[in-house]
Amino acid sequence: MKIVEVLNQDKVTLSFEVFPPKKMDDYTKVEEAAHQIASLHPDFMSITYGAGGGTSQYTVDLARDLYQRTGTEVIAHLTCVTSTREHVSHMIQSFKQAGIENIMALRGDIPKDGKVAHDYSYAYQLIREIKEHGDFCIGGACYPEGHVECEHKKDDILHLKQKVEAGCDFLTTQMFFDNNVLYNFLYRIREAGIQVPILAGIMPITNKKQLSRSVQMSGTQVPERFKAIVDHFGDDPQAMKQAGIIYASEQIIDLIANGIKHIHVYSMNKPDVAAAIQNNLSGILK
């Protein structure tokens, strides 16, 4: 089933994201974690794509395995900044052969060494190419606080509109820790005419180092309330894990109460975190 069909149903959806291993030796461990998350029966699962496409085959394998062995709907990521057109075409064919109907089309991060393929500069170019290769449901990324490489939020929304006009069926937000940021963002993009479904991306922060890495990579602002939680509980692993799960759960509850229907959890291959959040929402997701 195409993910957009799930999103267009009149219900709240909960999805989880997993990432493939960097090396084959870790594949079984990652596969087991993904299966445990799939056993929670999310509306779908998202499988990421390694930096530079280094784990691209693992993305295909994990997505196919989840779909065929657990019956879980999946969306496989595909990035283009380091990819040639030949590689993208090969990946699209691999997805087709695996029975995958959903692709998350992303530009991807510029590698630390600065080496890019030059065939693609923006995600909308990849979206157009995927559309030309088959009848896929295509997801894209959006940035409630603005993309770190885009100086003006107005320009960022214009770029987002390009993605939608190129054929993007829905958008998933980058992580955010202040729901008001999302509410303001949704107002601005709806005013700009962007009407596709939006998934709110929630990152449960379960250890102190995870927060600093996440903020460094994304530029996401951290509310004082959450800073206080990390400062107080950050040196106690168990307490920080519990506090992070509760904070993420409260974010989701507030989002649902304010009409946000689609929640995407960056579960970081942690079945226990995914299960704890789902349990906290058990009475809400009926």
CATH number for the domain harbouring residue 152: 3.20.20.220
**Other CB atoms within 10 A of residue 134 CB:** 12
**Other CB atoms within 10 A of residue 270 CB:** 20
Question: What pLDDT sits at residue 111?
Answer: 60
Residue 185 falls within a domain, yes or no? yes
Residue 284 falls within a domain, yes or no? no
Count of domains forming the chain: 1
Contact of 34 with 62, CB cutoff 8 Å? yes
Residue 199 falls within a domain, yes or no? yes
Domain holding 71, by residue range, is 3-279
Residue 64 falls within a domain, yes or no? yes
Residue 285 falls within a domain, yes or no? no
Cite the active site residues. Answer: 17
Residue 224 falls within a domain, yes or no? yes
pTM: 0.93
Question: What pLDDT sits at residue 84?
Answer: 86
pLDDT in tens, the chain (286 residues): 999 999 999 899 999 999 999 888 899 999 999 999 999 999 999 999 865 555 788 999 999 999 999 999 999 999 888 788 898 999 999 999 999 999 999 987 766 655 676 788 889 999 999 999 889 999 999 999 875 555 556 678 888 999 999 999 999 999 999 999 999 999 999 999 999 999 999 999 999 888 877 777 677 889 999 999 999 999 999 999 999 999 999 999 999 999 999 999 999 999 999 999 999 999 888 6
Q: Give me the residue label for tokens 């929670």.
A: 40
Residue 286 falls within a domain, yes or no? no
Question: What pLDDT sits at residue 285?
Answer: 84
Q: Give me the residue label for tokens 């692993």.
A: 237
Residue 264 falls within a domain, yes or no? yes
